[in-house]
Amino acid sequence: MVASDSKSHSHTQTNYEKDQNFEDILKPVYKGKKLTDEINTAEDKWNLLPAFLKVKGLVKQHLDSFNFFVDVDLKKIIKANRLILSDVDPEFYLKFIDIRIGQRSNSSSKDILAPPHECRLRDMTYSAPIYVDIEYTRGRNIVIHRDVEIGKMPIMLRSNKCILNGCDEQMMARLNECPLDPGGYFIVNGTEKVILVQEQLSKNRIIVEADEKKGVVQASVTSSTHERKSKTYVVTKNDKIYLKHNSISEDVPIAIVLKAAGIVSDLEILQLVCGNDSSYQDIFAVNLEEAAKFKIYTQQQALEYIGTKVKTIRKQKLTALQEGIEAIATTVIAHLTVEELDFREKALYIAMMTRRVVMAIHNPKMVDDRDYVGNKRLELAGQLISLLFEDLFKKFTSDFKMSIDKVLKKPNRAMEYDALLSINVHCNNITSGLNRSISTGNWSLKRFKMERAGVTHVLSRLSYISALGMMTRISSQFEKSRKVSGPRALQPSQFGMLCTADTPEGEACGLVKNLALMTHITTDDEEDPIKKLCYVLGVEDISSLDSATIHESYGVHLNGTLVGTTRFPNKFVTQFRDLRRAGKVSAFISIYTNSHQQAVHIATDGGRICRPLIVIEKGKSLVKAEHLRDLLNGDLVFDDFLKLGLVEYLDVNEENDSFIALYEKDITPAMTHLEIEPFTVLGAVAGLIPYPHHNQSPRNTYQCAMGKQAIGAIAYNQFKRIDTLLYLMIYPQQPMVKTKTIELINYDKLPAGQNATVAVMSYSGYDIEDALILNKSSIDRGFGRCETRRKTTTILKRYPNHTQDIIGGMRVDENGKPIWQHEALGPDGLGEVGMKVSSGQIYINKSIPTNTAEGLEAINTQSQYKETPVMYRGPEPSHVDQVMMSVSDNDQALIKVLLRQNRRPELGDKFSSRHGQKGVCGLIVQQEDMPFNDQGINPDIIMNPHGFPSRMTVGKMIELISGKAGVLNGSLEYGTCFGGSKLEEMSKILVDKGFNYSGKDMLYSGITGECLQAYIFFGPIYYQKLKHMVLDKMHARARGPRAVLTRQPTEGRSRDGGLRLGEMERDCVIAYGASQLLLERLMISSDAFEVDVCDKCGLMGYSGWCTTCRSAENIIKMTIPYAAKLLFQELLSMNIAPRLRMENIFQQ
């Protein structure tokens, strides 16, 4: 049968069996329900979600995109640029036949790469060689050379070219990798780099916009091909329609453009643009006069007219006619490049654009929304690298060609020329080009003249969630500084596609988004088979369509281009969808009808967000209990649901063409789809929040920002990592109140927080403004304790004169003991593991040679060294945790020392619950002074009740009740969005265990022993410790360094700077009339400077001598700020003489 066949096929294809990560989730014992229990479709269809994630993974979009690039796109790039011909020797050719990453043609297995963790430690790039097969002429022979390496390609972790692909947990452990790490990033020069998902307006689609104030309507299309990018507009100007393009100097009347594209008769123009609609005809008719005004009647005249307006620079001179042909064929709407004589496709495209403009003029509502998610495309790592690689490859081939030409130009060579000998010279360009772009984030593409900065980011390893959050992040191309609301607003169309809660606050608000949990981003699919399929399904080809009737039936648009028409759009769409559900067409191709435009749109392009939904037929969900049972038994995987047509992917546009039921009980006969789980509207980060549907929405957004700052466990290999800065929690706990998302993303295995017993009450005055009271004994027991690990890297350089940096041993005093500064050092001059390093002590005793110049005298002189030790600075001592010495890529010794600091919570450290309720520690109280309940339980945290009324975080209260019930019941409760453990059930447990249903307890004062006046809301809430800690921020200074230029104290904690008495503080002091204080703060304690001023000329002299007056007669010494003196001198330098006129204030 079909199903079993295809299943076994898919099993052999991927290595699901080995992947143990998701097995537990797939067999959940949820609410006491086991595998053998009855299946309830309405409740249990959520099991599709772990099945989805098992196949897709959390960062599948990145992996898919990269896999697509290395397997498909790369080959296309090679095919498009395969030939190198010589200008000199017409006989010579060199052809790239094939390209592979990390695998030789003859070997069945992949190349063995340096494992990713080694690359991290040794500051190397995790990359695989790029092999090409080359066919070329050597002398008179044609030679095929296989497996020529042309550079190295950085490999995305966990992609199919990565050695971790298909590894089981043991193998991962052996490679020092965390099995929970999602992958999807690169390691370049030892740092983990993520290529953020970029959001863009979709390419090659018509967007119609109107400016109602100016009365302008424009249809624009951004054409993007491998070769070029350009934008074509059809705009209105004075109620007439013109075509606008960057390389055409003037706006061309649309009728002339259409004539140039072969639609010569006015009748046909009118038929194509307006059809039979007389109101459209009225609007458009004036444009026909426009062409007549220019006396343009024939195609040739029109082409010549356009040809004279073109402003491209060419090497070769073309006639106006040729320029016109070139403009119409290639420049305008560049993604439809005409190679032959037939312009019809293009003419129709321009006519369609014009029609859309006319429609928008007629009905202002017929415009497109730029911010609509269906009009957006996401650009992922694979696409971005593909753009970059093609650029580099083109450069590579042109360089290679030049060097070949150089040799071939010489007429008499002794032996026949082997072109391959010189290929190695250029290989480095590809490798370094890729590495440089990924490590700097500067994407410069020559052929598009595009410069983009900030494409890549360092993967934030602050917590597991922050790393995961980064992988699902989408950055927009909009400028952050612009004050526009549209692109930032929450779009209804982002339901289920983009997380509704997870966006930063402040300037990037709404511009940076996150993917929802169950999304897929498409990769490019072939157009041609789909086009063929359309014709088979009865679509009539445009090349044989009559202009008069074209608008009487529905147009079929494939990726924005009209390919034909159909008279029965509904039938066509249904048949197409049936084929897709049958698996005959790729599942990610979307089709939908737009009745306003009378069009059927089919999209096969990459970068569309889509999500799976259950198909409903005849009012019944196709997913039945037996399917779910098979899923739980492991007989079916998610892709089988797809193949069986039970589930299908819909993109935003098709989603809008469907009728989706949220729950099974809501299904009516008209409905087409059913949600798998409503909580997938949230993303991975927002999924941590328990009961988010009870919270005020901004609170969830705040938590999304804070969840990424929470200190916790980051990965199973966290103690093997040497990162620049790492925060780890010593005793992390999984939350009492979980969500399904937490289980799905493995947050329970790598948690970041602890379940604190919270009493919501007031205690002392140290809990105002959200401050928290902490129990000292809790801290002693390890609550909120964390560890910071900081890395120092040193490279021992080699110099051209054969000297190199060295590590000295320790210096000892007269007793043979090391001096204090060197106490932490071992005999090798590096800090010893476990030693304590205090401020001022040295942990790498490095020296560099004084003379590094190359030359004869350098050899003669004895090598001398200057000490450049690495000294520890910090308010608290650290311990040496790890010392690593290795050799980096370029053969220089690399030393990494990891310093560890153990921190317990102190006053001012920041904590937060999972509901956007942050607070700092205001007071640490002895346990005996804390209140206690009947059982003698003290709270870990006391939180002020004023935090609730205005914040309306009801979810937090329910979390407390569920948590308390869980503790009493010995179970973990769920707070999943739109679901989770019911409050009534939780209250029932509380009552059964002898507690109040509302979670309130009677508490006794720890100080007086009397019971408190009110019942106190008391129970466990999951608290996160945030990375902002007082120890890293506290700062004070009496005296210290000053800036060289102004002689004022330096700024900032890192430079031991002063604390500024700013403008507003100054105003206060002035208001008080405290003039002497002002003088002291602003000058004496800052940059007081004594100058000699000449009373006569008013200019400054020096050492009692006025250089202007050439006398010492009228010199007066006075103190002014150095900055003032600097200003005077700077003014002097620009020919302005500021003269001081002095008066004696003590006269009279």
Partner 1 sequence: MSEKNSLFVKDDEDDDVDMISNANDSTTKEGTSSVAVESMDIDIDNDSLDSNSDEANFDIDEEDPIIEEIPLNIGGKDEHLHILQYIGKNKRLGKKPANHPFVSDIRYKAKSSVWELEIPLDESSFFNKNKDNEINGGDDWEDANIQYLKGVSVKNNGQYVAFSSNKQVYLLPVEKIAQVKPYFKHIDDLTKKRKQIESKNNATPASQKAQVVTMSVKSVSDQAANKLAGSLRAHKIEAEEDPLKLSWVENTFNSFRDSVKQEVSEHQLKCISERDVYLSKLFH
Taking CB under 8 A as the rule, does residue 326 contact partner 1?
yes
Distances (CA, A) of 810 to 827, 830, 867: 6, 9, 12
Taking CB under 8 A as the rule, does residue 408 contact partner 1?
no
Here the tokens at position 320 are: 């106006």
**What residues pair up with 223 in beta bridges, in sequence order?**
230
**Residue 342 or 992 having the CB closest to partner 1:** 342
Choices 293-301, 919-927, 991-999, 1063-1071; region in contact with partner 1 by CB under 8 A: 293-301
Min dist CB 388 to partner 1, Å, is 26
Taking CB under 8 A as the rule, does residue 971 contact partner 1?
no
Taking CB under 8 A as the rule, does residue 1140 contact partner 1?
no
Distances (CA, A) of 596 to 368, 1004, 1055: 12, 70, 64
Pairing of strands 673-674, 660-661: parallel
Taking CB under 8 A as the rule, does residue 297 contact partner 1?
yes
Interactions with partner 1, residue window 332-361 (CB under 8 A): 337-342, 344
> Helix %, strand %, coil % for the chain, to 5?
30, 25, 40
Interactions with partner 1, residue window 492-531 (CB under 8 A): 529
Taking CB under 8 A as the rule, does residue 796 contact partner 1?
no
Q: Which of 316, 862, 1103, 1133 is close enough to bind partner 1 by CB under 8 A?
A: 316
H/E element, 531: helix 528-536
How far is it, in rounded angstroms, from Cα 62 to Cα 634? 26
How far is it, in rounded angstroms, from Cα 670 to Cα 618? 8
Q: Where are the beta strands (DSSP E) in 203-302?
A: 206-211, 216-224, 229-237, 240-245, 252-253
Min dist CB 294 to partner 1, Å, is 13
Interactions with partner 1, residue window 997-1016 (CB under 8 A): none
Q: Which of 12, 412, 544, 1054 is close enough to bind partner 1 by CB under 8 A?
A: 544
For residue 1067, the one-letter residue type is D
**Residue 330 or 718 having the CB closest to partner 1:** 330
Q: Which of 81, 165, 225, 575 is close enough to bind partner 1 by CB under 8 A?
A: 575
Min dist CB 97 to partner 1, Å, is 23
Min dist CB 89 to partner 1, Å, is 10
Interactions with partner 1, residue window 72-101 (CB under 8 A): 87-88
Q: Which of 55, 171, 490, 579 is close enough to bind partner 1 by CB under 8 A?
A: 579
Q: Which of 97, 490, 508, 545 is close enough to bind partner 1 by CB under 8 A?
A: 545
Q: Cβ neighbours of residue 657 under 8 Å, at least 6 residues apart?
A: 592, 593
How far is it, in rounded angstroms, from Cα 343 to Cα 751? 61
Q: Cβ neighbours of residue 236 under 8 Å, at least 6 residues apart?
A: 215, 216, 217, 218, 242, 357, 361
Q: Can you tell me which residue has the tokens 């900065």?
A: 453
Q: Which of 214, 315, 365, 449 is close enough to bind partner 1 by CB under 8 A?
A: 315
Taking CB under 8 A as the rule, does residue 645 contact partner 1?
no
Cα 152 to chain centroid distance, Å, stands at: 24
Distances (CA, A) of 667 to 49, 304, 493, 659, 882: 20, 61, 21, 10, 60
Start-to-end CA distance of the chain, whole Å, equals: 115
Min dist CB 349 to partner 1, Å, is 15
How far is it, in rounded angstroms, from Cα 746 to Cα 688? 11
Which residues belong to the active site? 770
Choices 571-579, 663-671, 781-789, 794-802; region in contact with partner 1 by CB under 8 A: 571-579
Degrees to nearest 5, angle at CA 373 with 370 and 374: 90
Q: Can you tell me which residue has the tokens 């199973």?
A: 716
Taking CB under 8 A as the rule, does residue 325 contact partner 1?
yes
Q: Count of residues binding partner 1 (CB under 8 A)?
A: 52
On the 0-12 / 13-18 / 19+ scale of CB atoms within 10 A, 378 is buried
Return the closest-CA partner of residue 658 out of 592, 598, 612: 592
CB of 1046 closer than 8 Å to CB of 1060: no
Q: Which of 578, 666, 889, 1067 is close enough to bind partner 1 by CB under 8 A?
A: 578
Choices 259-267, 284-292, 390-398, 738-746; region in contact with partner 1 by CB under 8 A: 259-267
**Residue 158 or 259 having the CB closest to partner 1:** 259
Say what angle helices 697-707 and 464-471 make with each other, to 10 degrees: 110
Choices 33-41, 65-73, 543-551, 793-801; region in contact with partner 1 by CB under 8 A: 543-551
Min dist CB 86 to partner 1, Å, is 9
How far is it, in rounded angstroms, from Cα 818 to Cα 774? 42
CB of 944 closer than 8 Å to CB of 767: yes
How far is it, in rounded angstroms, from Cα 304 to Cα 252? 12
Taking CB under 8 A as the rule, does residue 312 contact partner 1?
no
**Residue 642 or 752 having the CB closest to partner 1:** 642
Min dist CB 275 to partner 1, Å, is 9
Taking CB under 8 A as the rule, does residue 762 contact partner 1?
no
Choices 285-293, 319-327, 608-616, 1010-1018; region in contact with partner 1 by CB under 8 A: 319-327
Min dist CB 536 to partner 1, Å, is 5
Taking CB under 8 A as the rule, does residue 532 contact partner 1?
yes
Q: Which of 127, 301, 466, 987 is close enough to bind partner 1 by CB under 8 A?
A: 301
The SS3 call for residue 400 is helix
Min dist CB 339 to partner 1, Å, is 5
Q: Strands across the sheet with 229-237, in order?
A: 206-211, 216-224, 229-237, 240-245, 252-253
85-117 per-residue burial string, b: 16 or more CB within 10 A, e: under 16: ebeeeeebebbbebbbbbbeeeeeebeebebbb
Taking CB under 8 A as the rule, does residue 1086 contact partner 1?
no
**Residue 333 or 752 having the CB closest to partner 1:** 333
Taking CB under 8 A as the rule, does residue 223 contact partner 1?
no
Cα 1133 to chain centroid distance, Å, stands at: 49
**Residue 398 or 902 having the CB closest to partner 1:** 398
Taking CB under 8 A as the rule, does residue 412 contact partner 1?
no
Q: Where are the beta strands (DSSP E) in 492-632?
A: 513-514, 520-521, 540-541, 554-558, 561-566, 590-594, 599-603, 609-617, 620-621
**Residue 487 or 529 having the CB closest to partner 1:** 529
Min dist CB 258 to partner 1, Å, is 12
Taking CB under 8 A as the rule, does residue 281 contact partner 1?
no
Q: DSSP string of 1124-1147? A: HHHHHHHHHHTT---------TT-
Min dist CB 448 to partner 1, Å, is 20
Choices 53-61, 73-81, 296-304, 693-701; region in contact with partner 1 by CB under 8 A: 296-304
**Residue 280 or 872 having the CB closest to partner 1:** 280
**Residue 129 or 564 having the CB closest to partner 1:** 564
Taking CB under 8 A as the rule, does residue 406 contact partner 1?
no
**Residue 530 or 759 having the CB closest to partner 1:** 530
Q: Which of 329, 562, 622, 715 is close enough to bind partner 1 by CB under 8 A?
A: 329
CB of 708 closer than 8 Å to CB of 504: no
Q: Which of 73, 181, 199, 268 is close enough to bind partner 1 by CB under 8 A?
A: 268
Taking CB under 8 A as the rule, does residue 318 contact partner 1?
yes
Q: What does the binding site for partner 1 look like in residue numbers (CB under 8 A)?
A: 2, 87-88, 262, 264-265, 267-268, 276, 297-301, 315-316, 318, 322, 325-326, 329-330, 337-342, 344, 529, 532-533, 535-537, 540-541, 543-549, 552-553, 567, 575, 578-579, 582, 584
